Structure 1
Amino acid sequence: MSSVELQTVRRALPIYAARRDLITECSQHHSLIVVGETGSGKTTQLPQYLLEAGLASHHHGNVACTQPRRVAAISLAKRVANERGVVLGQEVGYSVRFDDCSSHLTRLKYLTDGMLLREAIADPLLISYGTVILDEAHERTIHTDVLFGIVKAAQHTRKARNKKPLRIIVMSATLQADRFSCYFDYAKVLYIQGRQFPVQVYYSPEPQQDYLHAAIITVLQLHQQHKHQQGDILVFLTGQEEIESTERILVKCSHHLPTDCPKLIVRKLFAALPNSQQQKVFSPNPPGCRKVILSTNIAETSITLPMVKIVVDTGVVKAKGYNPLIGLDILCVQPISKAQARQRTGRAGREMSGECYRLYTEQAYSTLEEDTVPEIKRCDLSTVLLYMLALNINDVLNFDFMDPPSLESMVTALEQLHLLGAVHKTTQLELTDLGYQMSKFPLHPQLSASLLASQRLSYHTLFREEILTIVSMLSVESVMFTPHNKRDQANSMRNKFTSLDGDHMMLLNIYKAYKVAKGNKEWCHDNYISKHNIVKVAAVRSQLKQICSQLNLSFKHSQDSDAIRLCLLHGFFMNVAEHVQDGHYRTLSTRQEVYIHPSSCLFPCRPHPHLVLYSDLVHTSKCYMRNVSIIEPNWLLEVAPNYFKQTQH
């Protein structure tokens, strides 16, 4: 699109009519709440208005615009750089975990909420910024909730010290505006009108036992009923696996549609999908075709999809849960909130009048929660508490949270940090030297503890390179992909990487082989390795190595599997299970019944390994251990003598 066309598109956005008023309000108020529908242009245009009005400069400070998802931060930065005709990474840039495309020239930076939180560790008052825009605030991610308190405190402190003022703008498509206004010192609320066409909502007459089957049938019926009408179909599903299985079925069924029906093109949209494939959802349809977009909740607010006429809402979402008593992260399918249902419905009214088919009854809708439970109330808090302590926020139990997490979750997280040696034993509210080192890494504390163990203990000084690789492999989506129709071939090709010691050594073997093959695309294809994900591993590894260098940590290699697994145990000694009988394991800490995940290279081992460590637990039909390695019993007292004496009692 030419620059003239881009400017025409900018002026056609609903927000453009409010441009002058918005600039005036931003100039006059230090805190604002901006509510505007998805597609109104608030995320791409409001930051640009600040640039154009001179409110983002060396004198006023830069603009930070946070996003809950990395894909949104990257795509928005690219879009805005394109609109402004500048090189990405100069005036406009982005920063996401393990990928920083910004420079000293950057005046507008799109970044994930987690990255701004990490920046605050080095710069608690966020002095480099004059404006912080907290976008998609309604999603209430754990990092966003902590940022609310941090930017609010920074604003107050800067004012008290007569420093450059900090402007806070909270934006959302759907928000309890009065509640947010009250939290941010009764900030003014601005409403931006969007282009919203009427949407007719239809409910299922009776509960659906299988929402996937119902979604497929609904799509095929609607496609045929609307064969003479334009407009795409958007289906909300819960995750990658569901999306890919639904895609296969729809593609098969599309071959048997009546000849007078438009051709059905199926497109996928989820966060882990490579950007090049995500962009396909925006491509114009060929003549005589209709798109069906199968998406996670990423399409609720983060991305505006043109030409969607029909929404099929399954009424469910995959959301994080956490049980602090057993340390179990649960990613489970659960009902959406009413706010999410309204957002999904609105996706059908962007370009034309639309229809929304809710695959649940009207009675079921009435029982939904009004708003989504904030993530901070349902996840592991150890990482965010480590960052808060690094910010010298020592009274974490009384931090100014909009919605405080449970005391139980806070205490469990602090206890985990204490066991890892990150906080002092007496107060548990001050970081040790090790804790400060751990906070420098954008990793879960267990991973950073494993990494640092390889240099902290004299007899481990040779093994950090291998731990660096394993930690990097654990920090991205799985590098192994298994096509549904080539499961046996994929497993057979990957057998050469397996290790008798477990999955962590297997991951190390895969990365070494990838480096020997010099990243060859054909090698990745032949061995069923995701080129996209393993390239990301290399980038993560490079950034972690850079952080290690800044901490003056040296690097050497070793092939000693025992020493490598011993380093891992320093971070994951709370994640140890013993074999009970017939493949049943029990965790040593909580006596939770667990099983080795079928994807593990230790799954077929007989006899079953007596003691294993695992990187994480997932709960589906059973509670499974993923990324499992064999350990020796005598290592437990060597690594954490006090902890294992307690668990024995």
Structure 2
Amino acid sequence: MVQVLPSNFVKIDFCSYSMSLIMNLVCRLRIHLDPDYFELHMCKCPGETGSGKTTQIPQYLYEAGIGRQGIIAVTQPRRVAAISLATRVSNEKKTELGKLVGYTVRFEDLSSEETRIKFLTDGMLLREAIGDPLLRKYSVIILDEAHERTIHTDVLFGVVKAALRKRKDLGKFPLKVVIMSATMDVDQFSQYFNRAPVLYLEGRQHPIQIFYTKQPQSDYLQAALVSVFQIHQEAPSSQDILVFLTGQEEIEAMTKTCRDIAKHLPDGCPQMAVMPLYASLPYSQQLRVFQPAPKGYRKVILSTNIAETSITIAGIKYVVDTGMVKAKKYSPESGLEVLAVQRVSKAQAWQRTGRAGPEDSGVCYRLYTEDEFEKFDKMTIPEIQRCNLASVMLQLLALRIPNVLTFDFMSKPSPDAIRAAIEQLDLLGAVDRKEAQVMLTPLGRKMAAFPLEPKFSKTILLSPKFHCTEEILTIVSLLSVDSILYNPPSRRDEVQSVRKKFISSEGDHLTLLNVYRAFRNVSGNKEWCRENFVNNRNMMLVSEVRAQLRDICLKLSLPIESSRSDTGNIRRCLAHSLFMNTAELQPDGTYATVDSNQLVAIHPSSVLFHCKPACVTYNELLHTNKCYMRDLCVVDADWLYDAAPDYFRRKLRAAKN
């Protein structure tokens, strides 16, 4: 049992005078209105949680007239943050969302010609840079939550840095850039952006107490559960709890456990309203965490790191930090990219701590010892140094970067990772390699037109050959949004019974296609979605994504046909584009990936979990207690060989040696 005691804590006191400092920032940026002044072309702004940097600075810049020559862009790492922040700022400005204040996220654009403050994901700003590397329509670009260092953010740093220099050299109205975060490596950012000046915003006037465990915890889930109920029995019911977990499955399991235990608490204990929060949760249920709990109830929010930054939930007094997060890891040597549970960095731990007490003094319970905390990495390893770079290389080539191998990354990826990414693009037919030069092929340029991973772009571009473009567009759209299937643990038997009518023995892709077809046949009826445990909002988003992808196909003059009831053509198409993500059944009943001979297993959520097909493709690997394949499709080995004979000949020779 975890013991969280007042004898072992650090107390942090913050003093707030953030508004005067924000106005200081505005005044410093106003210097840029003089076209002859370019020395101070950027200001970098580390601002503590609660300083108002994300919501207030864009408004001050607009009111000061700085954004009148163009649009003020505010980037966010996550779509949910971009949408919620745009909604809040629009409400504060008393305007309709999509007018003065708007947002753009992947496959969703709520902005107009009137928009002057635009929140958008970093990936969407990067896609805009493919069409206009100088980002001419923007006068100010605010790169927010810079510490998260997503793969798109790091590329965007280099693109924006180049745009700053070129806009100045061309004599255009100067571009102003503000980089913001509550926890970032100030020296590294300042050095990278030409010794840019630094401005600190102190934003919290409430003290936060931090408690560590006395002993390391072997089971962080059990420790979190015990901590929640210790707090619940001692604290007033008006004070809510936020718990950080790693993923949907953990959250759903603990939600059920908390609700079950809460039914048997002794008299005098307040009631408990347990609320999950993760990206694939239906939007209406995500909104519940922002609403006050009923009288006599305490809100207990179980969240992924979606609640770590940007969104502030009122009423949170206690934070329980498990110190764990689910993140991608990529090995260029093996070619494997897996989602794995790992320790957070110190920066992430401080971000989580900052979620406590936004309105009053707060408490953070860290379910690890102080010695363990001191061994955490100072900053999160940038995603660009631990992910497959195929998408990045494709984007850089589409941006017409002269030499992708020498691109000005803030944190340069390893040469092996860059070479592995180019090798993958080569296998997909997206690039030509001539000596040291790497150039996009005509197919590669078409692939870059889609806001998708290269393997999915290739899938769509191959689909006319197999006369199944309509079905492939649907499948890719289904895989491009958060899960359309909702699986409440308390109704598992009912879910399985309802889902039987959709299940295809040929795999998850065809099962999802069956769900979409049924959804379309009932015209998106919400009651049908509830009865079949389907996320209505995500299904509507699938329809929007599909329409946009179809428009891109029409612009590229791709013929759009349907395979109707011939599922073999669909699976052949998937085999020809996902051939690098394949696994074969071994004599002992296990599976091994063809690419690296890695032992893998079928994920329990797959419709093929109780089956043993000889050969499958998969979309991703998830590493927990073992390495699982997710989103599987049954394919023939002959199809894979037809797709890339040279690739499989090399693999066969390597296996023999």
Q: 1:508 to 1:286 in 2, by over 3 A?
A: closer
The answer (yes or no) to whether the contact 1:320–1:332 under 8 Å persists in 2 is: yes
2:224 maps to what in 1? 215
- Cα distance between partner residues in 2 of 1:355 and 1:81: 32
1:158 maps to what in 2? 167
Q: Which amino acid aligns with 2:160?
A: V
Is 1:486 matched up with 2:486? no
Instruction: Tell me which stretches of 4 or more aligned residues in structure 1 moved more than 6 Å.
Output: none
Is 1:515 matched up with 2:515? no
Residues 236-272 of structure 1: CA distance to partner in whole angstroms, max 9, x if unpaired? 2112222222222222222233332332222232233
The alpha-carbon deviation at position 295 of structure 1 amounts to 1.9
The answer (yes or no) to whether the contact 2:280–2:483 under 8 Å persists in 1 is: no
Is 1:630 matched up with 2:634? yes
Match of 2:55 among 16, 34, 44: 44
- Cα distance between partner residues in 1 of 2:414 and 2:516: 40
Match of 2:46 among 24, 31, 35: 35
1:384 maps to what in 2? 392
2:130 maps to what in 1? 121
SS at match of 1:190: coil
Match of 1:645 among 643, 649, 653: 649
2:311 maps to what in 1? 303
Normalised to the residue count of structure 2, the TM-score between the two structures is 0.92
Q: Which amino acid aligns with 1:218?
A: S
Structure with the larger RCO, 1 or 2 (CA within 8 Å, 6+ apart):
2
2:548 maps to what in 1? 543
SS at match of 2:246: coil
- Cα distance between partner residues in 2 of 1:305 and 1:527: 31
Q: 1:583 to 1:600 in 2, by over 3 A?
A: farther
SS at match of 1:293: strand
2:531 maps to what in 1? 526
The answer (yes or no) to whether the contact 1:35–1:173 under 8 Å persists in 2 is: yes
Q: Which amino acid aligns with 1:392?
A: R
- Cα distance between partner residues in 2 of 1:337 and 1:217: 24
The answer (yes or no) to whether the contact 1:38–1:304 under 8 Å persists in 2 is: no
Q: Which amino acid aligns with 2:59?
A: Q
Structure 1 spans left out of the alignment, 5+ residues: 1-12
- Cα distance between partner residues in 2 of 1:261 and 1:127: 59
Match of 2:102 among 73, 93, 98: 93
Q: How large is the Cα RMSD of the aligned pairs?
A: 1.9
Q: Which amino acid aligns with 2:560?
A: F
Q: How does 1:455-494 map to 2 (within 5 A)?
A: 455=464, 457=465, 460=466, 462-494=467-499
Normalised to the residue count of structure 1, the TM-score between the two structures is 0.93
The alpha-carbon deviation at position 78 of structure 1 amounts to 0.8
The answer (yes or no) to whether the contact 2:239–2:298 under 8 Å persists in 1 is: yes
The alpha-carbon deviation at position 14 of structure 1 amounts to 5.4
Residues 112-148 of structure 1: CA distance to partner in whole angstroms, max 9, x if unpaired? 0011111100111111111111000011111111111
The answer (yes or no) to whether the contact 2:282–2:535 under 8 Å persists in 1 is: no
Match of 1:175 among 181, 184, 189: 184
Q: How does 1:3-402 map to 2 (within 5 A)?
A: 15-28=18-31, 29-57=40-68, 60-227=69-236, 230-402=238-410
The answer (yes or no) to whether the contact 1:577–1:611 under 8 Å persists in 2 is: yes
The answer (yes or no) to whether the contact 2:332–2:420 under 8 Å persists in 1 is: yes
The alpha-carbon deviation at position 230 of structure 1 amounts to 4.6
- Cα distance between partner residues in 1 of 2:204 and 2:506: 58
2:430 maps to what in 1? 422
- Cα distance between partner residues in 2 of 1:222 and 1:565: 52
Q: How does 1:538-617 map to 2 (within 5 A)?
A: 538-559=543-564, 560-605=566-611, 608-617=612-621
The alpha-carbon deviation at position 365 of structure 1 amounts to 1.4
Identity %: 54
The answer (yes or no) to whether the contact 1:584–1:594 under 8 Å persists in 2 is: yes
1:5 maps to what in 2? none
SS at match of 1:54: coil
The alpha-carbon deviation at position 311 of structure 1 amounts to 1.8
SS at match of 1:424: strand
The answer (yes or no) to whether the contact 1:394–1:429 under 8 Å persists in 2 is: no
- Cα distance between partner residues in 2 of 1:596 and 1:264: 36
SS at match of 1:386: helix
- Cα distance between partner residues in 2 of 1:628 and 1:242: 22
SS at match of 1:552: coil
Shifted more, 72-81 versus 330-339: the winner is 330-339
The answer (yes or no) to whether the contact 1:196–1:350 under 8 Å persists in 2 is: no
The alpha-carbon deviation at position 32 of structure 1 amounts to 0.6
Q: 1:200 to 1:176 in 2, by over 3 A?
A: same
- Cα distance between partner residues in 2 of 1:348 and 1:567: 50
SS at match of 2:292: coil
- Cα distance between partner residues in 1 of 2:635 and 2:248: 33
Shifted more, 413-422 versus 334-343: the winner is 334-343
Q: 1:175 to 1:616 in 2, by over 3 A?
A: closer
The alpha-carbon deviation at position 105 of structure 1 amounts to 1.9
- Cα distance between partner residues in 1 of 2:582 and 2:104: 35
Residues 420-476 of structure 1: CA distance to partner in whole angstroms, max 9, x if unpaired? 011014356211111111111111100010100123x4xx3x321111111111112
Q: Which amino acid aligns with 1:99?
A: E
Q: Which amino acid aligns with 2:99?
A: Q
